[in-house]
Amino acid sequence: MSFEPHGKHLIAGNWVSGAEKFSSDPVKGQPNEFSVGTPELVDDACKAAEEAFWSYGYSSREDRAAFLNAIADEIDARGAQITEIGTSETGLPEARLEGERGRTTGQLRLFATHILAGDYLDRRHDAALPDRQPLPRPDLKMVQRPIGPVAVFGASNFPLAFSTAGGDTASALAAGCPVVVKGHEAHPGTGEIVAEAIHAAIAKCGVHPGVFSLVQGGTREVGQALVQHPLITAVGFTGSLGGGRALFDLCAQRPQPIPFFGELGSVNPMFLLPEALKARGGQIAAGWAGSLTMGAGQFCTNPGIVVAIDGPDADAFIEAATKALEPIGAQTMLTDGIAAAYRAGRDRVAGTAGVQEVLTSVCDLRNATPYVFATTGKEWLANEALGEEVFGPLGLIVRVADTDEMMQVARSLHGQLTCTLHLDAGDTELGQKLMPVLERKAGRVMTNGFPTGVEVCDSMVHGGPYPASTNFGHTSVGTMAIRRFLRPVCYQNMPDALLPGDLQ
């Protein structure tokens, strides 16, 4: 049975409509109408979240784990309908949506297992030393505690894994924090059906309904109202640098500033070291072409920059990359706005002095085709704008004069989600020189692979120095993401009866 959206917001267990509407813009099928979010709805959702925190924030890990697993079950129960409306709204292939749904339910179940283990609590105890001289020591215990209601902004490029029930929501709920989601207008129907799954899990588990709300669409005023609401204690965001920085500034300007955990994008440079480039440049080029164009290049880990030493091996790499990219046709982008921004980024790069066209194509409307440009290390170092992200299948090859200039390019990088080294045994010494630079630039450093594809696990870091993210000490993927929504509390000489259950 097909899913027919009703177009309402979910506010503390109630489906609420409004007078103002907006229409979805699906790639295929008929558009649907949705109610437009308002600051008043945000206020209702935040107040309900605060009320829910007094029970949910003090619930047992066993109860929260059962709730997370119930959400995953309810999402899986709607799997075919989610795929149908998700592909209609976004144009993403069915296999991609089904894989992303598996990732979404998988990370919900992963967090359930993670909190049951209890290691994330970082429990510490310094026993009292009443006879210590010159002063006795009190009994001290410490544990991580949830911070309160969290705002989450749905991402355009991951309608499931980074949206309504995505990693930010899963980690906040695991921590004990109610969530208010601002749904992304690129896929409101997908957001609605996932919200229905969460709503069903709330009823099944007897959780306070204020633990989750979804506010659809709305203007910037709605987003501003959400991050500035006095009951919101932190924000999770995945999106553009411009939009994320504006919200980050609003969080900092509040009378009571709050943390803004924004993942804002990256160019994810790959460094091709000489021996690897010589031995298997063609193989690397083919892999790069596949990674660059995966999902129409709409991944935050898309490897948009290649750095290689100029010469015949770099020429051969460019030729092989061009040959691999030429047959790739137009792909549908997530929204008309993203497609327009991609063409604007293409024009910006193409119009930059010292940049040569390597592979050109034609794209219009909601489509994207691959483009490749080349420049020199000297031009890169002279023009900071070349390091700005172009969201889509566009690559820039930086031909450096020698290893010293390669090091200069590495040092010039702004913060990245990933940096990659392609190297063989003979490149080890150069790799050792680059590593101290790259680990300061990125949250994830890898060798002989491609950064698209982010494993959801304990050791993953999906973040990095600004502007890759607004808080380099945290990650938005993996179990360590829960730390964003916890804070340490110390209990001094506290009777057991007054301690949190996790310390008793």
Residues annotated as catalytic are 263, 300
Q: How many other C-beta atoms can be found within 10 angstroms of the C-beta atom of residue 384?
A: 10
Q: What is the dihedral of CA 191, 194, 196, 201, to 10 degrees?
A: -150
Q: Which of helix, strand or coil describes residue 101?
A: helix
Which DSSP helix (H) or strand (E) runs through 16?
strand 14-16
Q: Are 467 and 264 spatial neighbours (Cβ–Cβ below 8 Å)?
A: yes
Q: Are 437 and 410 spatial neighbours (Cβ–Cβ below 8 Å)?
A: yes
For strand 150-153 and strand 140-146, is the pairing parallel, antiparallel, or unpaired? unpaired
Q: How many other C-beta atoms can be found within 10 angstroms of the C-beta atom of residue 129?
A: 12
| C-alpha dist (Å) from residue 270 to 156, 342, 442 | 25, 21, 12
What residues are paired with 253 via a beta bridge?
Answer: none
| C-alpha dist (Å) from residue 194 to 2, 30, 94 | 14, 20, 17
What residues are paired with 398 via a beta bridge?
Answer: 307, 375
Q: Which of helix, strand or coil describes residue 1?
A: coil
State how far the Cα of 116 lies from the Cα of 46, in Å rounded to an integer: 28
Q: Taking the alpha carbons of 291, 297, 301, 304 in that order, is the dihedral positive or negative?
A: positive
| C-alpha dist (Å) from residue 388 to 242, 318, 342, 350, 476 | 12, 21, 12, 13, 21
State how far the Cα of 246 lies from the Cα of 182, in Å rounded to an integer: 16
If phi > 0 it is left, if psi is from -120 to 50 it is alpha, else beta; for residue 156 that is: alpha
